[in-house]
A and B are shown apart, each in its own frame.
Chain A
Amino acid sequence: MDCLSVQQDLDALREGRSSDGQADRLRAHLAGCDACRAFAADVALLRERLMAEPVPAVPASLRRRLREPAAPASVSLWSRRRVLPCAAALALALGLAFVLSRWRAPSDAPFVEHTVTLAVESAGDLPGVTLRLILPPGAEVAGHPGRAEIEWQDDLVAGVNRLRIPLRLREGTDGVLVARIERQNKVRELNVLLPDRRG
């Protein structure tokens, strides 16, 4: 048995996946080969160090997102991307980019899926912000059928925070999606016309 095969089969030996004959051959080789023994010892050390690596606790925002259906389900993703911090102090500057195609027609029409993206720029880290979405008739957040309002708490980080909202809209839906961001008695409100008729 050559050294390369032994070094590549160490895991099978450790995990007990080697056949009896193969395990015997591996052990015999290891007993007589300094290089393979040193390699095996270092692999064990490497695994030990990696497994003992301290990892910070799961962020509260991730746990909240898991608890709140709004999190993974629908009001899914804040994407943290730092941009130049804006000069204004506490205020939130709201920007909006949304991509919606046209739709039209009757009230009982099937749902059409669209994603609205809100970009919220914050001058600094803002923990404990309340976000509320108020939906017009005929619109719902994917995963939350029939709910006209959804509210949850989240943290904003300095820079641009992007929130992707997967919506289900009945064809013909015409109304305004209100996104309200509240913190310490300060409220910012953003109205998004549905559907987008600019395209």
Chain B
Amino acid sequence: MSRLLSFWRGRHDADSFEACVAPHMERLWRLALRLQGRPADAEDLVQETLARAWRHRADVLALDAPGPWLARVLTRMHVDRWRRRNALDAAESLPDPDRAVIEADTKETSSLATVSAEEVLAAVRALPDRWRLPVLLHDAEGYSLEEIGRMLGIPVGTLKSRLHRARSAVRKSFGDGT
């Protein structure tokens, strides 16, 4: 009998988990694809996120809105992968672009109005990860700066500055920005 109960408990957990996470799958998949680029890597990332969510299913099921929790896990796993690849070390050995003096963008005409969507997206993909992440999470996925700050463990002020630099860099890739 206890085996039967255990089985049904496991089944109930699985059903509840699916009902809770399924509405967020498309968003998770889109974010993973944008972060990773290659579909196979994106799939791995989502699977790892689901596996972790399942391990913490009691917490996930208790959340009113599990979307940001899932996105945070996925994003942090992406960042961990990025760090494991030593990309961060390599980046840190270069002059820190966040420490450069930040200036207002002074170009007085639109840079993006005449370029194709694909060119704009390519310019975003070419950004360094530290600038690309805030743009993707904020401008593409619609998370607030406060939510992104919690996901990445970065102060909102720094995020605002990175977002500005990223947007400026995208504009400058289609003109001199002056």
Contact = CB atoms under 8 A, between A and B. Distances in A.
Contacts of B161: 8
Contacts of B111: 38, 42
B25 A62 contact: yes
Interface stretch (A71-79, A131-139, A184-192): A71-79
B51 A50 contact: no
Contacts of A145: 3, 6-7, 9-10
Contact of B54 (A38, A47, A143): A143
Given A62-B43, A147-B7, A42 B13 contact: no
B106 A3 contact: yes
A45 interface: yes
B108 to A, nearest CB: 4
The interface residues of chain A, by DSSP majority, are classed as helix
Nearest to A44: B112
A46 B33 contact: no
A46 B105 contact: no
Interface string A125-150: 00000000000000000011111000
Interface string A47-82: 101111101101101110111110111101111100
B3 A66 contact: no
B143 to A, nearest CB: 11
Contact of B110 (A7, A45, A52, A77): A45
A43 B167 contact: yes
A51 B121 CA distance: 10
Nearest to B49: A72
Given A55-B30, A62-B47, A69 B113 contact: no
B26 A58 contact: yes
Interface string B99-135: 0001111111111110001001100100000000001
A72 B42 CA distance: 15
A99 to B, nearest CB: 17
B11 interface: yes
Given A66-B21, A67-B18, A76 B51 contact: yes
Given A72-B21, A76-B51, A80-B43, 19 more contacts: A6-B104, A8-B160, A8-B164, A45-B110, A45-B112, A46-B124, A50-B136, A53-B140, A58-B29, A61-B43, A66-B17, A67-B18, A71-B50, A72-B17, A72-B53, A76-B48, A77-B48, A143-B10, A143-B54
